[in-house]
Amino acid sequence: MLRKTFFLTVLLALVMTACAPQAAVATQPSAAATLIDGLGRSVVMNEAAQHVVSLAPSNTEILYAVGAGDQVIGRDEFSDYPEEAKALPSVGGSMGEYSVETIVSLKPDLVLAAEINSPELVKQLEDLGLTVYYLKNPTTLEEMYVNLEIVAQLTGEDPTKLTDSLKARVTAVDEKIMPLSARPSVFYEIDATDPAKPYTYGPGTFGDLLIARAGGFNIGNELTDPYPQISLEQIVVSNPSIILLGDSMWGVSAESVLARPGWETIEAVKSNQIFPIDDNLISRPGPRLVDGLEQLAKLLHPDLFQ
C-alpha cells in the first residue's frame, strides 16, 4: 500500500509541474538578501539558514550533498538517503499530508519545499511566519547544478567542489556516448502493478533524458504523457532490446518478467536483457542523478565501461 501511495503522490505532483522553468536566484544571503524562488516569491534571508526542514527526498539529498546535513532538523517521511537522514524527525508527507504542527514545533529558520509540495502548503507555512523556499524541479542536469548552488547559498555552503566533480563525471560519460551511432531501445518500468499496462517514463522526464544521455532510446518517448501507462501491445510493437526495472525495489525481478504471459516475444525477454535499477537515482532531482546516468550508461553499453 505504501508503494502505491508514494508512487501516486509523486506522479500527481510531477505530472502537474515537471516541465516548469528553473527559478532564478537574485543574490547570495551573505547578509540580508532576497532570493526569488520557484513560485516567483521573494524570500528574504537575513543570514544563512541553520535549522532546515526538508519537505522532499530530493531536497534532503541536496542539503546533505552541499555540506548542510548538520543543519537539517526535520524531513519528510520518504527521505531515506543518506542513512543519517532517517534519524531526523518526520513531518509526514504521505499523499501530500504534512504535519504543520510538527514543522512549526521544530522552529526552523528555513523550510525547503519542492514541486511535490503544493503552493497551498507553502502559503500555509508562510502565513504561520515560517521562511519557505520553493525549489523547482530542474529539467536538465545543468539546471540541477543550479539547484545545488541555490541550496548552498541558502545554507551558507560552498558547492564548487561538488558541482565540479559532478560535471566531470557527466563529461566522462558524454565523451564515451557521443560517438555512438547505434543506440539500444529501452523500456523502463516504473510500476507494473498491472503488468499488462505498466507505468513508464515519457517525454520531458529525467528518466527519458538520462536514458538518451546514456546512449539509449526510451520507447516511452513516443508517448504523450510524461508518466504514462503503456500497453503490452505497445511494448511488443516497440520491441525493446533492454528492459530496466525501476520497480525492482518493490520485489519485481527479471525472473518475474520472464514469466509474464505475452512478454515472451519481446527481444529483451528473449535475450534476458532485463536489469534492476535503483529508481531513486532516476526520479529524485538531486546530485544522485549523476549516479543514475553512470549506471544507465554501464547497463546500456557495458563494453564501453569495463
- 71: Cβ contacts below 8 Å, ≥ 6 apart: 49, 50, 51, 52, 63, 155
Distance CA 262, CA 239 (A): 12
For 30-66, b/e burial (b = at least 16 CB within 10 A) is eeebebebbbebebebeebbeebbbbbbbbbbbbbbb
The answer to whether 54 and 44 have CB atoms below 8 angstroms apart is no
For the chain, the domains span 22-157, 173-304
Place of cell 516504473: 190
Counting Cβ atoms within 10 Å, is residue 126 exposed (0-12), middle (13-18) or buried (19+)? middle
pLDDT < 50 positions in the chain: 1-30
Can you give the pLDDT at residue 31? Answer: 54
Instruction: Return the C-alpha cell found at 290.
Output: 549523476
List, for residues 106-117, the tens digit of each pLDDT value: 999 999 999 999
Read off the DSSP letter of residue 61.
H
User: In the CATH scheme, what is the code of domain 173-304?
Assistant: 3.40.50.1980
Phi/psi region, residue 220 (left: phi>0; alpha: psi -120 to 50; beta: rest), is alpha
Q: Identical fold at 22-157 and 173-304?
A: yes
Distance CA 124, CA 111 (A): 12
pTM: 0.89
Looking at domain 22-157, its CATH superfamily turns out to be: Nitrogenase molybdenum iron protein domain (3.40.50.1980)
Longest CA–CA span in the chain (Å) reads 63
Question: 185: which strand partners?
Answer: 217
Can you give the pLDDT at residue 258? Answer: 97
3-state secondary structure of 166: helix
Sign of CA dihedral 138, 144, 149, 151: positive
- Of the candidates 165, 236, 206, 231, the one whose C-alpha atom is nearest the C-alpha of residue 296 is 206
